Structure 1
Amino acid sequence: MTDVPPQWARGTASRQAHVALPPGAVEEEHGRDGFYGPASHLYRLHAPTAWTAVDGSAAHRAYDTNGLEPADDLWPTPLVGNHQVSVGVHRMVEGRSELLRDADGDQCVFVHAGSGRLRTEYGPLAYAPGDYLIVPRGTTYRFEPSVPTSLLVVEANRSRYRLPDRGLLGRHALFDPAVIEVPEAEAVDEVGEFTVVVKRNGRDTRVTYPFHPCDVIGWKGDLAPMRLPVDAIRPVVSPRYHLPPSAHTTWVADGFVIATFAPRPMETDPEALRLPFFHRNVDYDEVIFYHRGEFSSRAGIGEGFVTFHPTGLHHGPQPAARARDAAAVADADAGTGSAPRFADEVAVMIDAREPLHPGPAAEGIEVAGYVDSWTET
């Protein structure tokens, strides 16, 4: 049995976090280690995001990646990153003739739009919107889009992607590892001039072959490109308690995690919070890419947008999102409507332990006034 840390309670507070808040109060979680460490809940008279102004590098930011023109570049366009992780966008129309080999890190690719084939030396993987594609460091590959394609690319610098420990839920929770697809060997037996562009320490080296580099007739082992469709993810939920984002972790790497907010039932207990609780980032910078659906805690953020919440400032549901949810509940109570029972959204969250820094491309697609969307009028 594990030791139970001390639990202090002072003043007016709920006995159960995220349930039966004191009348007129809002709840904020002040926690450590990404919802895994020590935490306290503060019950406030005002939303901690109800600021009148924010000025500084810790301000929340949003980016509209739809403003990036498809360019068929070799590598993704970086948006934010640090020495352990880079988050970028790759938009292509026809793809490139060169093959690529990233010697700097594993790539986790999320397909936002488009379809086609990921050609790898292990064999091909078909892709479609909502697919995760893992390309291990050092793999030779290229994207062969059949229609214009838009990708979110998260590079793990000098690290590799692993499945998270599911703890008491067991290793088959959220998705069974058996649903992950790996390529069937498919040798390309062609002669000609083929170029592989190797990225090492952020710089390119071009290698030319007189034969197609994807000439593998077979392979075996436990390292390979992988495909995980988001529709195969079965989120763990509770009708009586709002689970933290860590419950939706999909991939882990050194210094960061990737979580998936997939369609899921909402809480039905009338005393339980339905929207994400207010919290302040203390140990992790948070980035969220919005793929599709109506995002329960956000208003004014559309598909293909990226939000960036650095450590230090509170965040949580925006006033417009809280008003939308409250109106739906009131209509249900009055018998004139039904409160939403389903969060119909798909979003990808990256939580990074070390501070993230916006890249040059981010400034050109930044959504003006995003931090002011929490200001209550």
Structure 2
Amino acid sequence: MDYQTGFLNHFATEAVDGALPVGRNSPQKPAFGLYAEQFSTTAFTTPRVENRRSWLYRMRPTAAHGKMRKAEEVGTRWLSSPLDCGIADPNRMRWDPLAQPDGDVDFIDGMTTYCANGDVAACDGLGVHLYSCNASMKDRALQVSDGEMLIVPQQGTLHLTTEFGRLDVPPGHIAVIPRGVRFAVAVDGPSAGYVAENYGEPFRLPDLGPIGANGLANPRDFEAPVAWYEDRDCTFTVVQKYQGHFWTVTLDHSPFDVVAWHGNTTPCRYDLARFNTIGTVSFDHPDPSIFTVLTSPSAIHGTANCDFVIFPPRWMVAEDTFRPPWFHRNVMSEFMGLVHGEYDAKEGGGFAPGGASLHNQMNGHGPDAHSTQKAMEADLEPHKIDDTLAFMFESRWPFRLARQACELPGRQSDYDDCWTGFPKAELP
């Protein structure tokens, strides 16, 4: 499958030669009887350097459909903020991986909301979900109008068909689907992973500041699809998530009928193995912000609506310092997941691939007693942390729990026990 490389590049791609207008060849009447449609994920008057829009040339306009109907039976465990009866709980929480579903369950119905913050109507905050599914979406597409989707597969490759083209997203990669893009998810078998549904500012690469010109995620390593279309007359259902509710409309054709497009807002994927880690070669463990892949800024300068932070394989090199993440209390709230391996601050067990943890704003956390003792006694020589991939969805706002997350059988009631057994310091 072919891809275009770059992040927020202005791409131009066509599946049929001559379908994409150029210069004065732009429509009054596009080639082949196609219809021109502008797709915007920022306001028209957003400063040009931040404006995101693409022009799609499609076989039918998306406006051509009937009445949408409320669908109470769709996505029953996929919730939006503000959560009904949700509370911001200061307790530290951890969950086992979600069980695989009984029967055939696709990506939409396999989604379970764990927590959320902000307000979807105010375009602020995010929802955090885990999915567990085993069936492909058949003649069914999803349009999430509430926010941008950042998808982190943990088990099984996701085969995404979007209006812009196709993306294969295996574990170790991520996908970003802009707000409002229609897409379908096919799977090869049992599949699971994590989703941040970003209600706020679109994700962007973080500024590097004193790091300089190089490091972290490079724009050229993001991959966007090339134009691909499906000319198929059939009964096709589009599911739209709108203000926390699901609506459906039936079409008589596939919605994936974009023959050409150009612009800078597009689905994309990124291989997390291409992340260029930055570390210390002197002393003191650096802040986890040096592992930020993407950020969605908040209105409070210097803080994020959502930071996507990873902990990949990396060298630990320093003269005399505690190597794992240190104990801390943070103004940012942290929802954490594990794609594979062990997380170096929780080597004592309990944090399994596909599981999750939540450390809400200003509540103390850090390595467990086993990992702490091991780190304090380790020889301080260059050491590579390998065969691991953990991540955080980090937010300026406290997360409120979904009731269903509190009731999951995999919620660990003994999570606090991992911080027992620390000996008291002996003073002279």
Both structures adopt the same fold (TM-score exceeding 0.5) = yes
TM-score by length of 1: 0.78
Cα 1:223/1:170, change in 2 over 3 Å: farther
Map 1:292-311 onto structure 2 (within 5 A).
292-298=340-346, 299-300=348-349, 301-311=351-361
2:197 alignment counterpart: 155
Cα 1:353/1:222, change in 2 over 3 Å: same
In structure 2, what is the Cα distance between the partners aligned to 1:348 and 1:221?
A: 30
* Per-residue deviation, 1:73: 5.1
Map 1:8-157 onto structure 2 (within 5 A).
57-67=89-99, 69=101, 71-72=105-106, 74=108, 76-83=111-118, 84-97=125-138, 98-157=140-199
1:78 partner letter: T
RMSD across aligned positions (CA): 2.0
Match of 1:223 among 265, 268, 271: 265
- 2:370 corresponds to 1:341: no
- 2:402 corresponds to 1:367: no
Cα 1:360/1:57, change in 2 over 3 Å: closer
1:272 alignment counterpart: 321
2:394 alignment counterpart: 351
In structure 1, what is the Cα distance between the partners aligned to 2:108 and 2:339?
A: 23
Output one character per residue of 1:167-197: Cα deviation in whole Å (capped at 9) or x when no partner. Answer: 2334542122011000111110111111111
2:312 partner letter: A
In structure 1, what is the Cα distance between the partners aligned to 2:336 and 2:158?
A: 25
In structure 1, what is the Cα distance between the partners aligned to 2:216 and 2:394?
A: 19
Structure 2 regions of 5+ residues with no counterpart? 1-87, 119-124, 299-304, 423-428
- The answer to whether the 8 A contact 1:268-1:341 is kept is no
SS state at 2:417 partner: helix
In structure 1, what is the Cα distance between the partners aligned to 2:219 and 2:397?
A: 29
In structure 1, what is the Cα distance between the partners aligned to 2:248 and 2:152?
A: 26
* Per-residue deviation, 1:354: 1.3
In structure 2, what is the Cα distance between the partners aligned to 1:296 and 1:318?
A: 10
SS state at 2:262 partner: coil
* Per-residue deviation, 1:68: 5.6
* Per-residue deviation, 1:360: 2.5
In structure 2, what is the Cα distance between the partners aligned to 1:162 and 1:201?
A: 24
- The answer to whether the 8 A contact 2:333-2:396 is kept is yes
Output one character per residue of 1:302-346: Cα deviation in whole Å (capped at 9) or x when no partner. Answer: 2111111112321111111112334443xx8xxxxx884335421
1:312 alignment counterpart: 362
Map 1:240-279 onto structure 2 (within 5 A).
240-241=282-283, 242-253=285-296, 254=298, 255-269=305-319, 271-279=320-328
2:65 alignment counterpart: none
In structure 1, what is the Cα distance between the partners aligned to 2:107 and 2:256?
A: 21
Output one character per residue of 1:190-238: Cα deviation in whole Å (capped at 9) or x when no partner. Answer: 1111111111001112122111100111111000001001111121112
SS state at 1:314 partner: coil
TM-score by length of 2: 0.69
2:372 alignment counterpart: 322
In structure 1, what is the Cα distance between the partners aligned to 2:317 and 2:217?
A: 21
In structure 1, what is the Cα distance between the partners aligned to 2:359 and 2:100?
A: 21
Q: Report which stretch shifted further, 170-179 or 338-347.
A: 338-347
In structure 1, what is the Cα distance between the partners aligned to 2:244 and 2:273?
A: 34
Cα 1:339/1:322, change in 2 over 3 Å: farther
SS state at 1:118 partner: strand
SS state at 2:290 partner: helix
- The answer to whether the 8 A contact 1:296-1:343 is kept is no
* Per-residue deviation, 1:272: 2.1
In structure 2, what is the Cα distance between the partners aligned to 1:293 and 1:99?
A: 33
* Per-residue deviation, 1:158: 4.3
SS state at 2:241 partner: strand
SS state at 1:168 partner: helix
